[in-house]
Structure formats: structure tokens, C-alpha cells
Amino acid sequence: MSKKKRRIDKDRYGRGTNDPLPTPDPESAERIPVPDRPAPKKFNAPLWAGAIVVLLVLGVLAMNIFGSKDQLTVDSLNPPAVGALDGGSSVYPANSKLAFTENVKFGYLPAPTLSALGDGTIVAANPETAAKDMGLKKNLDKLDSAEFLDQTIKPARKDTNSGEPMTWDQIVDEFGGDTVFLPAIDSAEVATPALKTITEAGLEDSTLVRTDDAEVARAAADAGVGAMFTGDTTASGNESLSGAGYTAVAVEADAAEKWTGVDLDVWATGVKDKKQLDGLADAGVTGALSENPYKILPSEVKTD
């Protein structure tokens, strides 16, 4: 007996194999909701710009506050300090850029002589020697800044380089903070603009004015700048100098030790050699002034 095959006329979903497929109704079809796109955040340019400015200001203040600790000051000098008179005029072109650059490089203190030109510019130049040093045909008070800076300063020794002159503003801009300045000022005419340059640069603690003029010393004291008396110490006492606004005194090496122990810093002049300088430092002398600083305090900086 043969088995009769069952005809399959429906699929597994119960639909007839010959039935048409259902068509979806586009109107009734449900769509999966699409999440709303978040609104873009607005970039507040003025607010960010303001924040950046504030950060920059804070950065500058931090540099001024914390960076000032590295600034060399009169009080932070380690005895014996040595000031290079006119930049070390027996070694380098007097009051030249070369001289001051080498002073700072080797640890000596630039001690320029300051003068006023005809246009009021304060410059590093000794009026007593400038004509010879620079080959001038007229006095400093007859020159303007452009004429002065166009000059060349003769070398102090044979087979050495000549130098370029500098204004006081240029000196302060270039070396301020890296050294202590010991400028010689002999008149109020020079003192007023010279001290203004110092105070505007914030270098009051890094400057010691050399002078024998009481008016200049008082102007320095009023500006918060120390002053060193360079006149005749035999006619002046400690109390009278302190009362005049002086904070230091320059004394011949042979008599310098007698001035130690007072309320004035003592700087020796005419020191012969390092041995004598070391002895004076042991006795309480702050430093020395010399046209050849290498002679009394050989540099420890190695050169090429």
C-alpha cells in the first residue's frame, strides 16, 4: 500500500502559499523616534579673552614678586665687592658698552660717571676725560644723543678693541637686575633724570650713587636709593654723613679700617692687591673701587 504525499499549501505562518504578501500601510507604520540633537554650546569669546588677560597679568605679577629674589642688590653683596671705576678704565675703553659687559660677566660692579648732554640725555662719560677718550672737538654739553652715540671710545691699552658709548637708559635696560650700579653723580641736574630712570626700572635697591654733593645725596635718599660719600672724610664725621642721607663712604685703603663698625658701609680706594683687599674685608670693609678690578680681585670666571 503506497503512502500518499501530503501537499504543502501553507507556510509556517499559516499563510497560503498562493496568497499575496501583505503590503504595509505607510500611514500606519510606526517609526523609531530619533533623539533630539543637543543644542551646540555657545563659545563666549569675550569671557575667554578676559580670562586669558587675567592669567597673563597674574603671570607677570608672579614673575615680579618671585623673580625679584634673584635680583642682585646692595644688601646682598658678598664682601669684598669691587666696583669698576668708569667700567675699569685702565683695562677697557672708559664708560663703554664693552667695559660694562665685561664688568657684569666677571662679577665686578659697573661704576660709570654720569653726565648730561646738551639735549638733556644722561650718558656714561666722564667730562674730565671724555674729550681725550672720544676725540671730541666740543664738550659733552654741546652734543645731542645722536652725536654722542656716533662716537668711538679709544681702547685703554695697545692691541685691544675700541668701545661704543652708552646712555644711562641703555645701561639700565641692558644690565639692570644682573648687577649693582655705582654711578658717580655730581649735580642735581644729572641726579633728577638719572634717579628717575632707576626708580622707573624698580632698581632702587640695586643702585648706590657715588657723590660728594649733599643735594644729590638727599635726592637719592628721597628716591629710596643709597648714596656713597666720595669727598674728604677728614672733614666729615659719621653722624653728619648719615644725617645728610649717605649710607656708605669711600675711604683710602690705609684709613678704611678705622671707619668700620659705624652705620655706614665702607668702600676702600687705592687698594694695592688682593692680599690687602682680603685683609680689609676681614676687618669689615664692604668693598673697593678700582680702575683695574682684576688687579685687586682676580676673576674666577674662566675665559675661552
Q: Which of 172-181, 198-207, 234-243, 292-301 has the lowest mean pLDDT?
A: 234-243
Evaluate if residue 168 carries a pLDDT over 80: yes
> What confidence score (pLDDT) does residue 70 get?
77
> What confidence score (pLDDT) does residue 82 get?
98
Phi-psi map region of 285: left, alpha, beta (phi>0 left; psi -120 to 50 alpha) = beta
Mean pLDDT of 106-110: 98
Mean pLDDT of 233-248: 88
Residue 206 corresponds to which cell in the numbers above?
A: 640695586
| Alpha carbons 190 and 157: distance in angstroms, whole number | 30
CB 290 within 8 A of CB 296: yes
Question: Percentage of the chain surpassing pLDDT 70?
Answer: 76
Evaluate if residue 2 carries a pLDDT over 70: no
Tens digits of residue pLDDT in 270-281: 999 999 999 999
| Alpha carbons 261 and 258: distance in angstroms, whole number | 8
| Alpha carbons 302 and 304: distance in angstroms, whole number | 7
Mean pLDDT of 102-110: 98
> What confidence score (pLDDT) does residue 304 get?
42
Whose CA is closest to 164, among 174, 151, 173? 151
Evaluate if residue 80 carries a pLDDT over 70: yes
- Cβ neighbours of 198 (radius 10 Å): 23
Q: Answer whether 0.85 is exceeded by the pTM.
A: no
> What confidence score (pLDDT) does residue 226 get?
98
> What confidence score (pLDDT) does residue 113 get?
98
Tens digits of residue pLDDT in 21-75: 555 454 544 454 555 555 555 545 565 555 565 565 455 445 444 444 479 999 9
Tens digits of residue pLDDT in 111-154: 999 999 999 999 999 999 999 999 999 999 999 999 999 999 99
> What confidence score (pLDDT) does residue 198 get?
98
Residue 103 corresponds to which cell in the numbers above?
A: 664688568
> What confidence score (pLDDT) does residue 1 get?
43
Tens digits of residue pLDDT in 183-230: 999 999 999 999 999 999 999 999 999 999 999 999 999 999 999 999
> What confidence score (pLDDT) does residue 65 get?
44
CB 209 within 8 A of CB 185: yes
> What confidence score (pLDDT) does residue 74 get?
97
